[in-house]
Amino acid sequence: MADYLREAFLFRWNLLLFGGGAAAAALTPLAPVLLPLVAAGELAYLTGLVSMPRFRKAIDVKVLGTSGSVVAVEGSPPAPSLLDMLSGLPVEARKRFERLHARCVEMRTIAAGVRGAASGQASASEEMRTPGLDRLLWLFLRLLVSKTALDRFLQTMNETEITTRLAELRKNFEGAQAGGDDRIVRSLQDSIAMAELRLDNFGRAKKNADFVSIELDRIEGKIQTLAEMAVNRQDPDFLSSQVDSAAESMRQTEKAVSELQHLTGLADQLEEPPPIMETDLRGALRDHA
């Protein structure tokens, strides 16, 4: 928030208007009335600008080194690519994504054979290249990245240790109150508040990790089902509509993933998925390494 406010205030047009308005108001006999109005206008401007998602994304890019899909800042580092994200996953998580991707490609090939699809013809092969399926795979990968970050965070904390420490602090606090030393009481109050905050953060992270795990299983099953439907469905439009409908139903999951971006270091540039179905993941990862 401090970064957002600083960048908003130091914007050259704001400095010009605010400085000019304050100077002009100070030179008039009505300065006691006008100066508070200028300050109120500046406060309204800062509040309005900081509340805009596009502005916050731009400052995230500039200050934190992340990237936004709507606003780009000159000199900012590039967005993490599909291969960068896969390379950063633990081996098992990466293999899980590769298996799901391979399953989709396999089903597309089988579907093309079942229908006797020829080169250049509209077929199940083309159906399986819908942006909806790429979007589902992309969301699955983002969830894997989020789960990895949450697991790492949880591994750095010990719930039992924090709970034990909190109980000790509360016991000491009761003793300090009986002793009448206000300095110790205030210090222990602050320590208790910090311990409670740590415990709350741990609980939130654990709930998020549980949610992500369940969503991974759900989306994996949905993607496999849609891929396998390509073999048995004769109507090209049906499968496309099912894939697009499934992708659209993931809005809430995408929102939840976006709320975890402070852990993953990713931003909303991930809303536009790359052509995952057309990517040779294993070959690309070897070249990337």
Task: Encode the chain (289 residues) as per-residue pLDDT tens digits.
Answer: 777 777 777 776 667 777 777 777 777 787 787 778 878 877 777 777 777 766 666 666 555 443 333 333 333 334 457 888 888 899 999 999 999 988 888 877 776 666 555 444 444 445 445 566 788 888 889 889 888 988 998 999 899 999 999 999 999 999 988 887 888 999 999 999 999 999 998 998 898 889 889 989 988 988 888 777 766 665 555 666 666 666 666 666 767 666 666 555 554 444 567 778 777 777 767 766 5
Distance, C-alpha 269 to centroid of its chain:
10
Instruction: For residues 90 and 139, state if they share a domain.
Output: yes
Domain count, the chain: 2
Residue 59 lies in a domain: no
Instruction: For residues 226 and 97, state if they share a domain.
Output: yes
Residue 71 lies in a domain: no
Residue ranges making up the domain that contains 28: 2-51
Instruction: For residues 88 and 218, state if they share a domain.
Output: yes
Instruction: For residues 27 and 132, state if they share a domain.
Output: no
Instruction: For residues 13 and 88, state if they share a domain.
Output: no
* pTM of the predicted structure, to 2 decimals: 0.60
Instruction: For residues 29 and 162, state if they share a domain.
Output: no
Instruction: For residues 192 and 150, state if they share a domain.
Output: yes
Instruction: For residues 232 and 170, state if they share a domain.
Output: yes
